[in-house]
Amino acid sequence: MTETSTHPAFTPPTRFAVPGRIVVNNRTAGMWQTATLTEIRRETPRASTFRFKVPKWAGHLPGQHLMLRLTAEDGYAAQRHYSIASAPDDSGHIELTLDHVEGGEVSGWFHSVAEPGDEVEVRGPLSGFFAWPGDRPALLIGAGSGVVPLMSMVRHHRARGLPVPLRMLVSARSPEELIYARELGAETTPVFTRSAPEGVPVARMAAAHVAPLLAEQPPGGWEAYVCGSNAFAEHASRLLVAGGQPVDRIRIERFG
Amino acid sequence: MNVSRGFTGRARVHHPGLPPGQYDAGDDWPVLSAEVTPELAPADWTFRIDGLVEQPRTWTWEEAHTLPASAYEGAIHCVTSWSKFGVRFGGVSLDAFLDVVRPHGSATHAVAYSHTGYTTNLPLADLAGGRAWIAWEYDGEPLPSEHGGPARLLVPHLYFWKSAKWIAGLRLLDHDEPGFWEQNGYHARGNPWEEQRYAGD
């Protein structure tokens, strides 16, 4: 990656729909460091938030992720990418919210074994593509634990009192399974797919949910961030395109 | 070594085909593209090779299908740590395309680009010698659009972000130019056996 000005960079005939938002610091992204678990908070029956002390954390932007590694006594290691849930701050702590995945060796350890004081390793933050620096109006659409990186954006927006508009549309099976339910405010519209509070319809996310948000285009237009399973991401991104959101203003983070 | 207390991990299965840090995803095939899946019909698909070649050329869907069929059966490896075994792709060896355009001796690298504008860079050596394909079938069926159909680049010996979905072309160069993920902190080559995930690995 030492491209010099002697070569004009190749530009494909189609400009990439969604160029990266920030330059990633390759040095911090490449370094494994110890993260000490300091707190576990139950969010839903299936998801908990894990807070870590990471003294040398380089700082992140909302939407970025990290790689987490667990090592066993015999040297066997398992690593996974996780979105960062906490807003950037200078506390020397970061938070992850993890679903308990059936048979998941890493999430299983977190949900069954982990206690404050335990140590894991992390490297990051990684990838600038899904990052939101807080500069453009943000339209956030998530499902299930897809709300995690979006919540980092919501928290950042609040903590800094950012003037740009931010709205979130989040799908959950039921109110009990809505992660961060107590924290969500007027910026958020929840959609419940299996059971809903009285007076709220049970529905799959549909054009009718997206249309009112796309109708109130802020100056400069929405930058849309979609996060969830691939099936949800395909569905939500099609709703956005059909609703008139430009394809080059849709960023998608899919689980996998 | 930094052991996490009480972590044992899954059963240790000796799997010589599994690169370091990877796990077997079994039947899952996660989709990780960062952009909206394009609606691209085979009739609208084209594939071009230009840059440092004798004879730049664009193939239509029909023209590409007149080249000799070639298949890949084996494993694919994603940088997010999953590997998938026993995959079967059908298409045409990239050698068949390169034989037509005849790369210059000065060509050392290529930028592969998609119909969405996605880019990724590869050494030319990784695209030749029977190790890369233009693939349009998966498991005997048309390649699904979310997996890059109608046709994608397939370079299975490198991490899978190198196998550009909705492949539109290759530009051959005499130097390396980072593509989309490579500009976002990922490794320039991405060899899973050397765990080249991020720049500096």
Chain A residues inside the 8 Å CB shell of B26: none
Q: Is residue B103 part of a domain?
A: yes
Nearest to A35 by CA among A95, A99, A108, A113: A95
How close A21 gets to chain B, by Cα (Å)? 9
All residues at 6 or more sequence positions from B71 whose CB lies less than 8 Å from its CB, including other chains: B88, B89, B90, B91
A20-24, A229-233, B91-95, B170-174: least confident range: A20-24
Clarify whether residues A144 and A61 are in a common domain: no
Per-residue pLDDT of A74-97, as tens digits, reads 999 999 999 999 999 989 999 999
What HEC string does chain B produce? CCCCCCCCCCCCCCCCCCCCCCEECCCCCCCCCCCCCCCCCHHHCEEEEEECECCCEEEEHHHHCCCCEEEEEEEEECCCCEEEEEEEEEEEEHHHHHHHHCECCCCCEEEEEECCCCEEEEEHHHCCCCCCEEEEEECCEECCHHHCCCCEEECCCCCHHHCCCCEEEEEEECCCCCCHHHHCCECCCCCHHHCCCECCC
Per-residue pLDDT of B177-190, as tens digits, reads 999 989 888 899 99
ipTM summary value: 0.85
Contact (CB<8Å) A113/B113: no
Kindly report the CATH number assigned to the domain that includes residue B121.
Answer: 3.90.420.10
How close A194 gets to chain B, by Cα (Å)? 25
How close A202 gets to chain B, by Cα (Å)? 27
Clarify whether residues A122 and A167 are in a common domain: no
Q: Evaluate whether B156 touches B72 at the Cβ level (below 8 Å).
A: yes
Q: Evaluate whether A178 touches A171 at the Cβ level (below 8 Å).
A: no
Instruction: Report the run of H or E that residue A94 belongs to, with start and end.
Output: strand A93-99
pLDDT band at A4 (very low <50, low <70, confident <90, very high): very low
Clarify whether residues A179 and A105 are in a common domain: no
Boundary of a domain, candidates A84, A99, A126: A126
Domain encompassing residue A248 = 138-254
pLDDT at A19: 67
Q: Is residue A83 part of a domain?
A: yes
Q: Which of A17-21, A105-109, B8-12 has the highest mean pLDDT?
A: A105-109
DSSP assignment letter at A202: B
Per-residue pLDDT of A186-222, as tens digits, reads 999 999 999 999 989 999 999 999 999 999 999 999 9
Contact (CB<8Å) A13/B168: yes
pLDDT at A28: 67
Per-residue pLDDT of A96-110, as tens digits, reads 999 999 889 999 999
For chain B, give the percent of residues with pLDDT over 90: 85
